[in-house]
Amino acid sequence: MRIKLDENLPLSLVANLERLGHDVDTVPAEDLAGQADPRIWSAAQHANRLLITQDLDFSDVRQFRPGLHHGIILVRLRVPGRLALARRLEQVFGNEEVESWSRCFVVVSDVKVRVRRPAE
């Protein structure tokens, strides 16, 4: 899976997700840190990448309807420290069928994963 990590996620995830076979790039590595959300979104879409973020600006499923983009994973942890974020995402990517999440809107919380798929 082709992934773009937003700047609000730990860079330690890059190596861990790559070990699982994913192609990962990051907002900071592309000199996009601090850029406006539309710029981040555009970069992810042009590169055909699923965006993983904590940014609530990407939380409106009406604006980011499944099927109209390459995918979003919105991470919402109660205590989103870097270690907790890394652990939770490694757990999700190790145990879930994430390859099926292309073009989906996914919310990952401490205990749940909710996947909204494109309408058939």
Q: In what order do the strands lie in the sheet with 23-26?
A: 23-26, 2-5, 50-53, 72-76, 105-109, 113-116
Q: How many domains does the chain have?
A: 1
| Residue 12 phi, psi dihedral angles, 5° rounding | -60, -20
Residue 118 and residue 64 in contact, taking contact as beta carbons nearer than 8 Å:
no
CA–chain centroid gap for 40, Å, is 12
Q: State the pLDDT at residue 37.
A: 95
Q: How confident is the model at residue 41 (pLDDT cuts 50, 70, 90)?
A: very high
The 10s digit of each residue's pLDDT in 62-111 is 999 999 999 999 999 999 999 999 999 999 999 999 999 999 999 999 99
User: Measuring CA to CA, how many Å separate 104 from each of 18, 47, 61, 107?
Assistant: 21, 16, 10, 10
What range defines the domain where residue 87 resides? 2-116
- In terms of Cβ atoms closer than 10 Å to its own Cβ (0-12, 13-18, 19+), residue 86 is middle
H or E element at residue 95 = helix 82-95
pLDDT over 90 percentage in the chain: 98
The 10s digit of each residue's pLDDT in 56-75 is 999 999 999 999 999 999 99
